[in-house]
Structure 1
Amino acid sequence: MVAQVDPRDLRPGQMVDGWRIVRKIGAGTYGVVYEVEKDGQRFALKVACHREQSGDPRQTDARARREAVCLGKLDHRHIIRMWAQGRCGDPRSGFLYVVLDLVDGYTLGEWVRRTYPTVHEVVVLFRKLFDALEHMHARGVFHRDLSLRNIMVTKEGEPVIIDFGAADYAAAEELTDAPLPPCTPRNRSPEAQRFWNENRLNPEARYPFKATDDIFALGADLYDVLTDPTPQSSKVRPPLGDAVPPPSPFKVTQGRVPEVLSSYALMLIHDKPEGRPATAKDARSPLEEFAQFEGPEWRSTRVHPVAAQLPPAPAEIAPGQVEVPPVPIPSHPSAVPGAGAGALNRLRRGWLRPAFVAPLVLVVLAAAVAAFVLQRPAHPAPPPVARSARADQPPTPSPLAEKPTSRPAQLASPLPTQEKASPSVKQPDNSPTLTSGVPNPQKASPRRVLSKAERCALLVASVAWIKAGCSGVQTRPDPEDCPEEAVRAMKEMGWSTQGGTQPFILVDVTKGSVEEAREQNRTVWKDGPVTGALIRAEGKAPAGTRLDGHLWTTGDRIYGRYLRAHLSGGRTVPICVELTDGGDLGMDKREGSKPGAPVGSKVSSSHAVERWR
């Protein structure tokens, strides 16, 4: 293999030290996996490589060597086996690889959906997994990411633990560059979550991973298998280590999961480590007993009804009707061929097609009616007349709640000062705001209470306006020059403000680590101060450098400015860094965004600037 070939782009037929590439299976945080062939046998070849989001590229070799050491210590039928290892390409600059078993089967989440397991089959499978975990811990190895995707089930129903890229062993060199090791947030233990909450702003803190953390993670997998009929499709789920205890599998499945197994699953994810089994062997013992039970609730009952695991039926098409595939609407004009102002104008003109004329006429009419009603002088309502309600008369419905559309909502401050920026994500109660056209809010006259008719008209107009797709008020800070001291500080750090320095940023360290962002890259944002971090080194600022700033989320994009950098040795310097997305200012709002709760990426590109745009 030629050394210059990127290991992420190997093609079928290429050779890696005698292993012929058959196809690409997938890519993970620290490597790419291919199916390979040699002497008529098929294997999996995992090549270690560095991605931009992976942090320090010098750690790539160290992580690959640690994974190989962990695999070399293990020999268990339910743990993936390593057959060979080496370095492809140049012996000094090439990429390390390991050759592994090729597992023909499904991930654990897919196995649940595609095989409709019985309670007994789930018990037997997890008994084997805890047996493999006991073997692993006896040799001083922690997997540290026992998630649904890192457990395979063969076509014969045998589980196999895979992907030791985040694994660790006794006396191994510390490679984690964050308080917590990489893992799936859903499967993180409560004690690890508490450690993160207490140390997320301390880049030197390191969590001491223990056997009970692996036990919790495997228990979280059991809980999801017992409670979710399609766990492989559940994209956003809160960590099971949160303060609120999850409902029991017995309750979730309406009794399909036996109570004793339900209680056992909750014990594995107990919020305190002393409430869980102390060892994997202790965790396996109850499963040995459950596997002997013969009743129909164990041997014949499927954990989930088959109907709950089937995909929805496709919509029927009437005879002679031609199904027209929907035209995708790009999330940003840059996604349209010939993007730019012209593309944006074409999108806007598309709204004026005949199909939209009637709805727009209704919108204008509703708005006019609402304006007419609201401008009428208010007459005092006559005193209520006491009368007894007839027995057959329904109660009078309560008035509609007043909608805050009679005047623009207050806007966030255009920009906090260097002194007001805070690493906390909580918006201060005394945060400055604009008054949205109200000249003197302290002396403003009290608002008139709207009548029932006025509120109805206002509600109709508001709903029509929203349905028409009209965007809200654009909220973003005003362009201005960056302070001279910030420009000098960035130059001292080796940052170029002419497009040369484009830091890749973890937008908010309180939303999780870089590893968690790879697992679940979206979150809900809100206006206010924020503390981010450099994902990779920039000039003299190392990876992990904390950046204090502010977010604005009210408009059609998410804008962010970072004002201070906390360097090593406790030194803090002013900076001017703004979030960007593909060269455009700010971040796109993603699917699932709602008013007041925009969804965006946890990581973003950015630019060091001399003038805020």
Structure 2
Amino acid sequence: MALDRLSDDLEITDELPVGTTIFHGQYRITKFLNSGGFGITYLAKDSLNRDVVLKECFVGAFCRRSQTRVRPRSESGRVHLGKVMRGFLREAHTLAAMSHPNIVRVHQVFEDNDTAYMALDYVRGYDLLQVVDEGKMHLAAGQLVDLARKLLSALDHIHQRGMLHCDVSPDNICLSLSGEPVLIDFGAVRSATAQDASLQTGLSMVKDGYSPYELYSGGATAGPWSDLYALGATLYHAITGAAPADCQSRLSAAVERRPDPVTPLAGRFAGYPAGFLESIDRAMSVRPSARVQSARDWLSALAPRDTAGDRSIVLLRKAPVTGGSVRPVRPVRPG
């Protein structure tokens, strides 16, 4: 009997099983999608039988599953989980205030199972990491430039509202089947004003290869230039097929007067408009003051769009893997 119970315990997983209904039956889980530092995401059907993405506030370091309910692992975990939940709800309200075609939309936020959920648009397609590393789509130079413009417009929309995304990376950019980019996962969103801590999520997070050094350091000042570094690193991955070296290694190399482990893009790849690759190199400067300072400035510096040369993104059945991967995510406990 004890062995049977042990076997049952070993089969317990964090995610809710397919078929689970939530919020008085308004949502039914149809598929587990992913889990990350701030929660678990599912594909679900709403009460009108439409596909939506459900994001559940669940941080495994602080909580556990008891049937469908979420329980803190300890008293200290209860405090941390409370902070994360408040941040999760703020994330939903932050997204609800956004209105941009390249930012994911939130439909509803609610509490159930002693945690919080949000219902989001379901984007049919792939994330940029799958596109690059698994060859799900073919992205030509002109299409990458167009993608950069749209993401810069989305970041400008966020920054003009006094916020920072703080987690721009290939796996947080979805591409619809028509190639339209959508920025997702606002779990690390924070205020762009250093004195305003009201928008902090309760957890901070860095992602090696994409996060600038100021996000690793509690005393450094983040700003729009921080998101632009991450976008530059994301574009670097899309162009070269591999994630760049992490910013900590780059900073150490600079201090020790060794060569930068990130090779500049300028002059290495054909087919891009004049100045485009140089703008990515500048956005990826280790020193914040050397970067382009705003998304609007970066947009203004790009050459006018050549609509005559645009081609649709091609969906591929199978293509060789080009290499590279998202670097480790490092969630940090709140202070």
Q: Provide the TM-score with structure 2 as the length reference.
A: 0.74
Task: List per-residue Cα deviations over 1:177-198 (Å, max 9, x = no partner).
Answer: 78xx3121212224455xx3xx
Kindly tell me: are residues 139 and 44 of structure 1, through their superposed partners in 2, closer, same or farther at Cα, counting changes over 3 Å? same
Task: List per-residue Cα deviations over 1:466-489 (Å, max 9, x = no partner).
Answer: xxxxxxxxxxxxxxxxxxxxxxxx
Corresponding position: 1:13 with 2:35: no
Secondary structure of the 2:111 match is strand
For residue 239 of structure 1, the aligned residue among 210, 235, 246 is 246
What residue is the counterpart of 1:188 in the other structure? 211
For residue 162 of structure 1, the aligned residue among 181, 184, 188 is 184
Alpha-carbon deviation of 1:290?
A: 4.8
Alpha-carbon deviation of 1:260?
A: 2.6
Taking the aligned partners of 2:93 and 2:15, their CA distance within structure 1 comes to 26
Task: List per-residue Cα deviations over 1:491-519 (Å, max 9, x = no partner).
Answer: xxxxxxxxxxxxxxxxxxxxxxxxx9962
Task: List per-residue Cα deviations over 1:151-197 (Å, max 9, x = no partner).
Answer: 1111011000001111113534375778xx3121212224455xx3x
Would you say the 8 A contact 1:25–1:34 is kept in 2? yes
Would you say the 8 A contact 2:88–2:187 is kept in 1? yes
Kindly tell me: are residues 224 and 290 of structure 1, through their superposed partners in 2, closer, same or farther at Cα, counting changes over 3 Å? farther
Taking the aligned partners of 2:117 and 2:237, their CA distance within structure 1 comes to 33
Corresponding position: 1:86 with 2:102: no
Kindly tell me: are residues 115 and 80 of structure 1, through their superposed partners in 2, closer, same or farther at Cα, counting changes over 3 Å? same
Would you say the 8 A contact 1:120–1:291 is kept in 2? no
Kindly tell me: are residues 11 and 82 of structure 1, through their superposed partners in 2, closer, same or farther at Cα, counting changes over 3 Å? same
What residue is the counterpart of 1:110 in the other structure? 130
Alignment of 1:355-366 (within 5 A): none
Task: List per-residue Cα deviations over 1:441-472 (Å, max 9, x = no partner).
Answer: xxxxxxxxxxxxxxxxxxxxxxxxxxxxxxxx
Secondary structure of the 2:122 match is coil
What residue is the counterpart of 1:130 in the other structure? 152
Task: List per-residue Cα deviations over 1:389-428 (Å, max 9, x = no partner).
Answer: xxxxxxxxxxxxxxxxxxxxxxxxxxxxxxxxxxxxxxxx
Alpha-carbon deviation of 1:101?
A: 0.4
Taking the aligned partners of 2:31 and 2:186, their CA distance within structure 1 comes to 21
Taking the aligned partners of 2:96 and 2:197, their CA distance within structure 1 comes to 14
Would you say the 8 A contact 2:266–2:277 is kept in 1? yes
What residue is the counterpart of 2:42 in the other structure? 34
For 2:121, give the aligned amino acid. Answer: D
For 1:239, give the aligned amino acid. Answer: D
Taking the aligned partners of 2:20 and 2:220, their CA distance within structure 1 comes to 42
Alignment of 1:469-548 (within 5 A): 519=329
Taking the aligned partners of 1:174 and 1:80, their CA distance within structure 2 comes to 19
Alpha-carbon deviation of 1:249?
A: 2.1
What residue is the counterpart of 1:44 in the other structure? 53
For 2:160, give the aligned amino acid. Answer: A
What residue is the counterpart of 1:220 in the other structure? 233
For 2:181, give the aligned amino acid. Answer: P
For residue 260 of structure 1, the aligned residue among 275, 299, 316 is 275
Would you say the 8 A contact 1:250–1:259 is kept in 2? no
Corresponding position: 1:173 with 2:183: no
Secondary structure of the 2:205 match is coil
Taking the aligned partners of 1:247 and 1:290, their CA distance within structure 2 comes to 27
Corresponding position: 1:210 with 2:217: no
Q: Percent identity?
A: 25
For 2:282, give the aligned amino acid. Answer: M
For 1:212, give the aligned amino acid. Answer: W
Which fold has the larger relative contact order, with Cα–Cα distance below 8 Å and residues 6 or more apart in sequence? 2
Would you say the 8 A contact 1:189–1:217 is kept in 2? yes
Unmatched tracts of structure 1, length 5 or more:
1-5, 197-204, 313-515, 522-534, 537-542, 545-613
For 2:299, give the aligned amino acid. Answer: R
Would you say the 8 A contact 2:15–2:40 is kept in 1? no
Alpha-carbon deviation of 1:15?
A: 0.7
Alpha-carbon deviation of 1:259?
A: 5.6
Task: List per-residue Cα deviations over 1:31-76 (Å, max 9, x = no partner).
Answer: 1111111212111110101312787333231221221222122111
The structure that has the greater radius of gyration is 1
Would you say the 8 A contact 2:158–2:164 is kept in 1? yes
- Cα RMSD over matched residues? 3.2
Task: List per-residue Cα deviations over 1:314-356 (Å, max 9, x = no partner).
Answer: xxxxxxxxxxxxxxxxxxxxxxxxxxxxxxxxxxxxxxxxxxx
Taking the aligned partners of 2:289 and 2:93, their CA distance within structure 1 comes to 30
Would you say the 8 A contact 1:250–1:256 is kept in 2? no
Moved more, 97-106 or 216-225: 216-225
For 1:519, give the aligned amino acid. Answer: V
Taking the aligned partners of 1:520 and 1:59, their CA distance within structure 2 comes to 18
Secondary structure of the 1:226 match is helix
Task: List per-residue Cα deviations over 1:223-269 (Å, max 9, x = no partner).
Answer: 221222xx4xx6xx52146134322224544x455663221211111
Kindly tell me: are residues 67 and 519 of structure 1, through their superposed partners in 2, closer, same or farther at Cα, counting changes over 3 Å? same
Corresponding position: 1:310 with 2:320: yes
Moved more, 137-146 or 167-176: 167-176
Would you say the 8 A contact 1:73–1:139 is kept in 2? no
Would you say the 8 A contact 2:87–2:202 is kept in 1? no
What residue is the counterpart of 1:77 in the other structure? 101
Taking the aligned partners of 1:20 and 1:250, their CA distance within structure 2 comes to 49
What residue is the counterpart of 2:161 in the other structure? 139
Alpha-carbon deviation of 1:273?
A: 2.5
Q: Provide the TM-score with structure 1 as the length reference.
A: 0.42
Would you say the 8 A contact 1:147–1:217 is kept in 2? yes
Taking the aligned partners of 1:165 and 1:212, their CA distance within structure 2 comes to 19
Kindly tell me: are residues 223 and 16 of structure 1, through their superposed partners in 2, closer, same or farther at Cα, counting changes over 3 Å? same
Taking the aligned partners of 1:51 and 1:172, their CA distance within structure 2 comes to 24
Unmatched tracts of structure 2, length 5 or more:
1-11, 64-76
Secondary structure of the 2:43 match is strand
Would you say the 8 A contact 1:270–1:276 is kept in 2? yes
Kindly tell me: are residues 293 and 12 of structure 1, through their superposed partners in 2, closer, same or farther at Cα, counting changes over 3 Å? closer
Kindly tell me: are residues 84 and 218 of structure 1, through their superposed partners in 2, closer, same or farther at Cα, counting changes over 3 Å? same
Alpha-carbon deviation of 1:282?
A: 0.8
Question: Matched residue pairs, number?
Answer: 284
Kindly tell me: are residues 160 and 249 of structure 1, through their superposed partners in 2, closer, same or farther at Cα, counting changes over 3 Å? same
Task: List per-residue Cα deviations over 1:295-330 (Å, max 9, x = no partner).
Answer: xxx769x9xxx9xx6249xxxxxxxxxxxxxxxxxx
